[in-house]
Structure 1
Amino acid sequence: MAPTTSNARYENVLLGVLFLTFGFVFFDRLALSFLFPFMAEELQLGNRHLGMLSSVLALAWAVSGALVGLWSDRNGVRKPLLIAAVILFSLCSALSGLVGGFLSLLLFRGVMGLAEGPILPLSQSLMVEASSPHRRGLNMGLLQGSAAGLLGAVIGPPVLIGLAEAFGWRHAFVISLLPGLLIAWLIWRYVRPDDRARKPDASTAGNGVGLGGRLALLKSRNILLCTLISCVFLTWFIVLISFTPTFLVSQRGYSPASMGGIMSCLGVAWVFWGFAVAAISDRIGRRPTLVLFSLVAACCPLALLYAPTPFSLGALMLLTYTGLGCFTLFMATIPAETVPRGVIATALGLIMGIGELVGGFIAPTIAGFAADRYGLSIVMWMSCGGALLAALLSLFLKETAPTVLARKAGRPLADTANLQGHP
């Protein structure tokens, strides 16, 4: 059955609101990296402090994403949690501008990670329910991939650096509170109220998935594989994004201006591939898309190692920085199409949480020690290896794309979507 005009309108409105929400999460998450040069001398911070600040946020993100996602599914509550999380992380980001030293900054970044962690599983579980089957992958890709790239990697750097130069780094943090409060109001105004707390979900009735059985989700082949892919692909991403600026300046000998231009190419590629990969997966399937673009992503660190000029390297970044589009598939779309509706947030929080723990918390530390011993080039090989492992693991996924399943089964698309238990 074709979606009604009302449902289609809400689908687009929800996508817009959640696009801004998750994009602003990455705006705040990456703000410290862009403002660190302005604050390091005043607060007497070094590279080890930057590493610790990034790690504590990733650890808090991992824990809260998994636990709050589980609690949300058990109680059928998402909208109030989403509003509270946006307000809390916005406050903590603003308070980062009032710190007097490393310990207070570490505290605020940790609390900010606790607030930001649940936003992705809550947002994607809302999005998958509102999405038409034929554009589910595209919606989720825009929400997770393109939003983070546009607001975090394209708009974020010039805005934050401009504010820091005009008003000081402290004011740049404090001003970030205002868009957060606006986004919280948009969620309150335009996101439909939760109804699962009042009405049990038929898709999960009698499925026996209780608190003690949540980790049993890992018995599902797709969920286990997506969790493993999350670990290795987050290693690709975090290691690459953390060490590339330093690698380009100290190892390749590029000027700061050339380095900035190359990083801008990463941001543009992040936005484009964030939705393009997901849209392609709606047509040809999740599994082949993930295998193909994981292999392309593995070429990105190799380009950083061997591209002869800054211009050619920038062009190769636009072509090979495809991993953030893949993230939507293994971290949201495939799990949402695999598990019953009532445990979507739990599954997404579990995959994201374990991936953040391994790829966001452990891998950068190992990469840093390895770089000190063997040189910065080793981190690029680690990043490449993460994407190659993701491609290998993706070969064993079960296909979930509604269009592909409908084509194979000879059924109308709506019938296949209903068989999966999605609206």
Structure 2
Amino acid sequence: MAEGPAIPLIQSTVMAESSENRRAFNVGFVLSGAALFGEGLTPILSTAIASHFDWRSSFYVLAIPGFIIAYILSKYLKEPKLSTTTKPYKPSLSDYKGVLQNRNVILSIITGILYMTSLFSSGTFLPLFLIDVGKYTAMQASIIISVYGVVLFVWNIVVASISDKIGRKPTTMIFSFVACLIPVAVMLFYSNYFLLMISLALLAIGLGYQTLIIFVIPGESVPKAIMASTTALIILIGEVIGGSIGPYVGGILADKFTLFAPLWFSLFVSFMLFLITFGFKETAPSKVNKTLLVSKKI
């Protein structure tokens, strides 16, 4: 309950305060920081602490950043401007109803579910796969996962910047397809430590689309005043459904077949997500405004 509201509130604040031509870049930059420290450094740090002390001590240390973040936000975060007028805009019931009638929001919910399903399926069983099938030590497995997280710091920024230039829809389509290749790379190169790390580091660029489907596209599809509620709804449904289905189905498949099965399941779900991205409507201001100008001239 404490952790859940943080990301939607932070990212909706970033979007509200960003200029149109840097909106996706700023959101991607914030998310990349989370990838660098959360997914990149945390596995190595927690494993190192646990190996020198115990896992209980590791959990205590990992609680410290939460207190630091709370202090920084309470002291320095300014209330975002959600309206061009001095009078604050209060969302009406019809605004909230409109969210569930918005095509991009509906597609973001569906792709969010699929993304979380794939993420939790592969993420839950990847360490086990590396240790049991790849025959790596726990530290070697954590290094692979950490490298994977660190490069996301760069790729989130890169993909978001590309979407500011060429549009949200084509960027989402291109990189969601690249993301389909990640489980393929694991299954092909799991026996070669360095080749596996290199392939994951390069293909991780595909996961840069998560910024677009969860925050940017739905955020640009609704009024600023309900951006936080919209992104929170997408994360809620995605994590409740995808976070439940992913590990559960992956576990059943792993027990019935082998540890390769969750990766095949992740590949299938990722490809379904890629197909659904064709249905998004473009929201990038640079592209939408250009279309409006052309239509007015015609």
Flag whether TM exceeds 0.5 (same fold).
yes
Unpaired segments ≥5 residues, structure 1: 1-113, 412-423
From the superposition, tell whether residues 399 and 297 of structure 1 become closer, same or farther in structure 2 (CA, over 3 Å): same
2:99 paired with 1:217: yes
Aligned partners of 1:309 and 1:208: how far apart in 2? 55
Mapped contact 2:107–2:276 kept (Cα < 8 A): yes
From the superposition, tell whether residues 333 and 178 of structure 1 become closer, same or farther in structure 2 (CA, over 3 Å): same
The aligned counterpart of 2:166 is 284
From the superposition, tell whether residues 297 and 131 of structure 1 become closer, same or farther in structure 2 (CA, over 3 Å): same
The aligned counterpart of 2:120 is 238
| Equivalent position to 2:3, from 116, 128, 132 | 116
Q: Which secondary structure state, in structure 2, belongs to the residue aligned with residue 116 of structure 1?
A: coil
* C-alpha deviation, 1:258, in angstroms: 4.2
The aligned counterpart of 2:26 is 139
2:240 paired with 1:357: yes
Aligned partners of 2:147 and 2:62: how far apart in 1? 25
Root mean square deviation, CA, Å: 2.4
Identity of aligned residues (%): 33
* C-alpha deviation, 1:171, in angstroms: 3.1
Aligned partners of 1:303 and 1:226: how far apart in 2? 26
Mapped contact 2:36–2:149 kept (Cα < 8 A): yes
The aligned counterpart of 1:14 is none
From the superposition, tell whether residues 200 and 207 of structure 1 become closer, same or farther in structure 2 (CA, over 3 Å): farther
* C-alpha deviation, 1:362, in angstroms: 2.1
Greater RCO (Cα-Cα under 8 Å, separation 6 or more): 2
Q: Which secondary structure state, in structure 1, belongs to the residue aligned with residue 279 of structure 2?
A: coil
The C-alpha deviation readout for 1:370-423, integer Å capped at 9, x for no partner, is 110011111111111121111111111000011222333449xxxxxxxxxxxx
Q: How many equivalent residue pairs?
A: 291
2:83 paired with 1:200: no
Aligned partners of 1:255 and 1:185: how far apart in 2? 37
2:263 paired with 1:380: yes
Aligned partners of 1:334 and 1:370: how far apart in 2? 33
2:249 paired with 1:366: yes
The aligned counterpart of 2:74 is 188
Q: Which secondary structure state, in structure 2, belongs to the residue aligned with residue 253 of structure 1?
A: coil
Farther-moved stretch of structure 1 (252-261 vs 337-346) = 252-261
Mapped contact 1:269–1:317 kept (Cα < 8 A): no
The C-alpha deviation readout for 1:228-267, integer Å capped at 9, x for no partner, is 0001111121111111111122223344454334223312
Q: Which secondary structure state, in structure 2, belongs to the residue aligned with residue 219 of structure 1?
A: coil
| Equivalent position to 1:126, from 13, 17, 23 | 13
The aligned counterpart of 1:273 is 155
From the superposition, tell whether residues 257 and 164 of structure 1 become closer, same or farther in structure 2 (CA, over 3 Å): closer
The aligned counterpart of 1:293 is 175
Quick one: which amino acid aligns to residue 239 of structure 2? E
| Equivalent position to 2:187, from 284, 305, 315 | 305
The C-alpha deviation readout for 1:54-98, integer Å capped at 9, x for no partner, is xxxxxxxxxxxxxxxxxxxxxxxxxxxxxxxxxxxxxxxxxxxxx
* C-alpha deviation, 1:208, in angstroms: 2.6
* C-alpha deviation, 1:306, in angstroms: 1.1
Mapped contact 2:187–2:260 kept (Cα < 8 A): yes
Quick one: which amino acid aligns to residue 236 of structure 1? S
* C-alpha deviation, 1:138, in angstroms: 0.8
Quick one: which amino acid aligns to residue 43 of structure 2? P
* C-alpha deviation, 1:364, in angstroms: 0.9
* C-alpha deviation, 1:149, in angstroms: 1.4
Aligned partners of 2:30 and 2:219: how far apart in 1? 14
2:133 paired with 1:251: yes
TM norm structure 1:
0.64
From the superposition, tell whether residues 259 and 179 of structure 1 become closer, same or farther in structure 2 (CA, over 3 Å): closer
2:283 paired with 1:400: yes
Unpaired segments ≥5 residues, structure 2: none
